Structures are given as C-alpha cells and as structure tokens.
Structure 1
Amino acid sequence: MKDDSRAMAIEGARFFGEISASISHEIKNVLAIINENAGLLQDMVMMIEKGMPLSPERLSVLARSLTRQVNRGDRIVKDMNRFAHSADHSSESVDIGEVIQFICLLAARLIAMKGEPPRIEVPATPITADTNRFFLEDLVWTCLCRAMDARAPDQNICIVAEKAGNAPQIRFCGLAEDFLAREAGLPSPRETMVAGLLGVDLKTDSDKGEIVLIFP
C-alpha cells in the first residue's frame, strides 16, 4: 500500500505539472501580446507628444485588443483554478461528460499540437459516477493521448460518454486497428495504475478501434 501511495503521488504530481506547464505557456502568450500592445501604446504617446496626428480608430483597435487578451487571460486563470480544485475531494459525484469536455478545453493547446481536436458526444442527461475527479481527468487525458497517437488515417477521434446497461462508460473511437493490435496500443502502466485506483475497467478493442473505460 505504501508503494502504491507513493506511485499515485508521483503520478498526480506528473499530471498536474504537465497540464500546469501548458496553461502557464498560454498565460505567457497572453502577457507577451499585452506587452506588445503596451509598446504600441507608448509609440502612440510619442507621436502625440511630437504633434503628429493620431486616428481615434487606432486607439480603439488597440483598446479592443487589450480587452480581448485580458478576457482570455481571465478565462485561462479561471480554468486553472477549477483544475486545481479537482483535487479537493477523494471521491464525489462526477458528471463524466463534463470531465471530458473540461479536459479537452484545458489541454486544447496540447491537443492542437497532435492534430484535430476530438469530437465529443455526451447525452443531454448527465451520466454521473462516484469517483476521484482529479484522477479521472488524468485517465481521460492519458487515454486521449494514446487515442490521438493511434488515430486511423482520415478519421477524427470521437469521445463518447454513455451507459452500457447500468454502467457508465467512455469510449475513445476512431483508432487504427493495426495500432491497437501492436504492443504500443496496449494500456500504459500509467493508465493501468490510475484505472486501478478508480476501479475502472480499461479495455482495448482492436476490432472496433476503440479504448473503453467502464465504471463500476
């Protein structure tokens, strides 16, 4: 148990660091754009001081740009705060579809580096499970990474939240069958460990080209 606790602590820190690094990169991009706009504003001040004409429209465009970046930065920080609070409870009732959508939003930059964002299919009525939100986010992210690496040619990844009987499940669809049949397509030790913590059955269906998470 002691070794398991240590392994989970390391995994949690790795996942938090991976996502936080991506978020901080986005914040730096926002600050860089704001800094660039501040430089333009200073140039405009110098123009006015020299008696040069300045169109009000140029100031208006600059003001709108600054507002957009402030709003973008505020949204990023709110998402980061929400992510940090994912670790507040060891177990809670979690909307599975909401977790999928949040992780895809939170990791949008990392997803874009791998290709097209996944299509998400969630039912109108939320599907819930009593689980650890933080490690479920971790498991969804690691499975999505493997799914994107195994993307079938000319197909987009689709993440489906649904019920099979009474059991909630998540399916990652659109994977290349030959990839899943190889060793690289098997669940990683990281996925297996987190799935075990959550009590989730993690399966790979090479015939359908899917990764499936089945909740108890």
Structure 2
Amino acid sequence: MNSDINKKLQEQFLYQGLGFCGAITASVTHELNNILGTIDQLSGLLEDLALTLTQGDVATGNQLTAISDRIFKQTARGMTLVKRLNTFAHFRDDVAAKFDIYDAVENLLALMKRLALLKKVELILTKPAEEIIVKTNPFSLLEIIFLAINRILPCTKKETVIEVVLSKQNSDAVITIKSMHDGTLTRLSDGGYLRSLISHISGNTKESFDDVYYNFELKVPIPER
C-alpha cells in the first residue's frame, strides 16, 4: 500500500515539476524572442547604413556606435538569461544538495521577473545578514516558492511588491513571502500537492493575513556542519 502511495507521489512530483519547468522556460524563451527581435531590427538598421555608404552618404560614428551599443546590451541580456536558465535546470541534478539559499532564490526570482511584471507587481529579494546553506532537494524548494508566488500574484495589489525575505532562525532557514493583497486571497496551503512538497523537503509553513497584508513562511532545517 505504501509503495503504491509513494509511486503516485513520485508521479505527481514529476508531472507537476514538468509544469514548473515549462512555466519558467516559456517565460524566458519569450524574453529571448524579444531580444532576438530587437537584434534583428538593429541588424536591419546596420544594413541600411551600409547601403547609404555605398551610395556615397556618410554614416556618422555616433549612429554606428549607438547601434553597436544596443546590440551589445541585448546580447549580454540574452546571455545572462540563458546562463540563469541553465543554472535553474541543473537544480534538478541532485535530490539532496548543499547550496546557498540566497543564490538559488535570487536566480529563480530573476527568471520570474516577467511573470510578475505582467501582473504589474515587482519581486524584491532581501539578502540575509549571513550566508545560509541548506541541504535539501533544491528543485522542490524552488517549486514551493514558485507555487507560493504564483498563487499570490493574481491577488496582489497592482503597482506593489512581493517581498521575499531570507533569514536564519535557530536551526532553520526561513523564507518569508510578504505582499499587500486585494482581498480575494484564499489560504495557500490548502493545496494537497503543496503540502506534499513541503513534507518532501522536511519543511513546515505558517500563513497569516489580515485586511491588508499576507505572509507565507517556509522553514527548512539547516544541516549540522
């Protein structure tokens, strides 16, 4: 009986995890498509300038420099996104890894930036006062944070922020997600899959909200050195 339950849980983790990967990848590739479109337009401008030169017109150095700078910035932006996506993909490699929680969450929030901006909300991460190393399933931890933010986003007041605060409390790493809600929010932890994920990483959560603010707190044990 237990083996059947575990098998179903593993299948659910795989299925939901693919959805998590798909949402992040879709958002990033949309951004990359915008970058490539901009570079394509700038390349067209360079081609037009080259044509005017063959006809005897003089392209100013300022024009060429401006286009070159814009191509450089878009290329750098694209390379950063690809590097972040690659880092995210490798969090799937190890089910029990030691890692700096700030680096992992910072990378995730950067990849989620577009999803938040579509809702006119900004994601802000507060860096902890000291390095916090945890040992757990990094992919599952990030999926919990993604699900929490994704659930909160539609209920967050527009033109406000969702703040993610990382801290250390006794022998736990604490991830707190705070926002101003619009009054339509329901309790996040009602979802059975989310509870399974939290249990999977040996974490525990606490929620609280009033007429204005919502707080979601996730605690993850810090391994002994």
Distance, in Å, in 1 between the alignment partners of 2:39 and 2:123 is 31
User: What per-residue deviation string (whole Å, max 9, x for no partner) do you get for residues 10-46 of structure 1?
Assistant: 0111111110111111111111011101111111121
Bigger strand share: 2
Distance, in Å, in 1 between the alignment partners of 2:159 and 2:116 is 17
Specify the code of the residue in structure 2 equivalent to 1:89.
Answer: D
- TM superposition outliers: structure 1 runs of 4+ over 6 Å: none
Shift of 1:115: 2.2
1:107/1:44 CA distance change after superposition, 3 Å: same
The equivalent of 2:3 in structure 1 is none
1:42/1:177 CA distance change after superposition, 3 Å: closer
The equivalent of 2:111 in structure 1 is 106
Distance, in Å, in 2 between the alignment partners of 1:71 and 1:156 is 27
Question: 1:170, 1:214 within 8 Å by CA — same for their partners in 2?
Answer: yes
The equivalent of 1:129 in structure 2 is 134
Q: TM-score, normalised by structure 1?
A: 0.89
Pairing partner for 1:196 from 177, 196, 199:
199
Question: 2:204, 2:218 within 8 Å by CA — same for their partners in 1?
Answer: yes
Distance, in Å, in 1 between the alignment partners of 2:60 and 2:22 is 46
Distance, in Å, in 1 between the alignment partners of 2:182 and 2:168 is 24
Distance, in Å, in 2 between the alignment partners of 1:153 and 1:34 is 31
1:154/1:85 CA distance change after superposition, 3 Å: closer
The equivalent of 2:167 in structure 1 is 162
Shift of 1:154: 7.7
Alignment of 1:62-77 (within 5 A): 62-77=67-82
Q: Which runs of 5+ in 1 are unaligned?
A: none
User: What per-residue deviation string (whole Å, max 9, x for no partner) do you get for residues 57-78 of structure 1?
Assistant: 1111111111111111111111
Distance, in Å, in 1 between the alignment partners of 2:143 and 2:99 is 14
The equivalent of 1:205 in structure 2 is 208
1:36/1:178 CA distance change after superposition, 3 Å: closer
Alignment of 1:44-123 (within 5 A): 44-123=49-128
Question: 1:201, 1:214 within 8 Å by CA — same for their partners in 2?
Answer: yes
Shift of 1:108: 1.0
Q: Which runs of 5+ in 2 are unaligned?
A: 1-5
Shift of 1:214: 1.6
Q: TM-score, normalised by structure 2?
A: 0.85
Aligned length: 214
Distance, in Å, in 1 between the alignment partners of 2:43 and 2:29 is 21
